[in-house]
Amino acid sequence: MNGQHRDLFRVLFLINFLISLGFGVSDAFFPLYCQSIGARGLLLGVAVGGYALSKIIFSPIMGSLADRFGRRQLVITSLLVYLLVSCSYLVTENLVVVVCLRLLQGAGCAMFRPVVQTLIADHASSRQWGKAMGSFDISFYAALSSGPLIGGIIMDQAGFHGLFSVLIICSMAALGLALAAIPRQLQPPRIAQEISVQPGIRNICRQGGTLQGLLLFIFGRACGITACGTFLPILLSSKLGMSGIQVGIIMASATLVMTLLLRPAGRIADRVPRRMLVICGGTVVPLLYMLLPVAADFMQMLGVTLGIGAFSALSQPATSALLAEEGQRLGMGTSIGTFHAFLNLGFVAGPLLGSLLQSSAGLQGVFIAIGLIGLCSVAGFILNKPVRKLTVAQA
């Protein structure tokens, strides 16, 4: 990166960290908040799950808008939405209004993260996409791992109003940074300078290639992440009888090691074939999921979860770099937005599938199933061959 692009990267890194931290602090306790204002059964499911549903619907749309109308405008708009929703949580306890706010929050997230990732891909050298994407993702995972801990402290001291106040402060700080430090006139994406692209979801479905494989891969990976996060604590307490601190260490271990390894994994992704890294990491992680019910004690379980974090880190920057390559061909914003839609679809499907399997096949069946889904998603990635890129002359 040159100096200007490096400054933009730092600003976007900090903005993403602030937003991710704000949501990490509040989201861990959002189901409890909904229960405290009367949400039960279906309404509780809508209040919690509507956020993900909104992201699934709006991510491809917002990505396409970013290709058509510019990145900065959508980042600013999304941060304004975040701030509006955060302030609204403090002034209402009407359950219907809270559900609507949650849906609006999901639309803001669909507008924010894909577009910020698009900006990173636009302004990084294609030879350093792995390093850039891996380094940028540290802002997300560091906030994700520290947010619930900070949120727990605030919850004990100041309750739900304290959590939402932190969310407001983070949103205000991120918006101020965006207004002050993101240039009003960004250089157009390289793809706009090289070939004529017609962004759109139909174009992706028609010409997908590697991107179609990435969509299958990220769906399977997301299913595994959320199903494991939902059912691993149950396995740890019911089968192994672990204490709360032991469960916390194991649950945090994968995210922690992934955060530490993302940058070196990004450097590796810029030096070796990226598809190989996706296949390697994507194959080992599902196999490790299948080993979780077999682990007999704390140290064995910790070893498996550390392996999950390490091999997830191996494939993460390579996946993001391949996504950026496809964005050059199909439209950066649309490609990344569609990718996030499949990511969130997997986040929703994982716990639902796990819940159905737990009653019929037990906890062991849940982890075997998400392992098989992960392996099938890697097979889908392998079968979707890369599409030969157009040159400027061919365009």
List helix spans (H) across 270-391. 274-291, 298-330, 332-383
Domain covering 3-182: architecture: Up-down Bundle (1.20)
Domain ranges of the chain: 3-182, 201-383
Task: For residues 262 and 259, give the distance between their C-alpha atoms in angstroms, rounded to a whole number.
Answer: 6
Task: For residues 373 and 297, give the distance between their C-alpha atoms in angstroms, rounded to a whole number.
Answer: 26
Superfamily the domain 201-383 falls into: MFS general substrate transporter like domains (1.20.1250.20)
| DSSP three-state, residue 58 | helix
Q: What pLDDT is attached to residue 201?
A: 56
Which among 113, 130, 125, 245 is positioned nearest to 174, based on CA atoms?
Answer: 113
Phi and psi for 254 in degrees, rounded to 5?
Answer: -65, -45
Task: For residues 241 and 383, give the distance between their C-alpha atoms in angstroms, rounded to a whole number.
Answer: 42
Task: For residues 26 and 86, give the distance between their C-alpha atoms in angstroms, rounded to a whole number.
Answer: 10
Tokens (6 digits) for 87: 């302030």
Task: For residues 182 and 127, give the distance between their C-alpha atoms in angstroms, rounded to a whole number.
Answer: 24
Which among 30, 327, 250 is positioned nearest to 155, based on CA atoms?
Answer: 30
Which among 271, 294, 269 is positioned nearest to 281, based on CA atoms?
Answer: 269
Q: What pLDDT is attached to residue 384?
A: 86
Q: What pLDDT is attached to residue 1?
A: 58
Task: For residues 167 and 82, give the distance between their C-alpha atoms in angstroms, rounded to a whole number.
Answer: 9
Tell me the residue ranges of DSSP E strands in the chain. Answer: none
Task: For residues 329 and 12, give the distance between their C-alpha atoms in angstroms, rounded to a whole number.
Answer: 24
| DSSP three-state, residue 184 | coil
Asked if 263 contacts 131 with a C-beta cutoff of 8 angstroms, the reply is yes
3-182 matches 201-383 in fold: yes
pLDDT values of the chain reduced to their tens digit, one per residue, 395 residues: 566 678 889 999 999 999 999 988 888 788 888 888 887 766 777 777 788 888 888 888 887 787 777 788 889 999 999 999 999 999 988 988 998 999 999 999 988 988 898 888 888 887 888 989 999 999 998 888 888 878 888 988 999 999 999 999 999 999 999 999 888 766 545 444 443 344 455 556 565 578 889 999 999 999 999 889 888 888 888 778 888 788 878 888 888 899 999 999 999 999 999 999 999 999 999 999 999 999 988 999 999 999 999 999 999 999 999 998 888 877 788 888 889 999 999 988 888 888 888 888 888 999 999 999 999 999 999 998 776 554 333 33
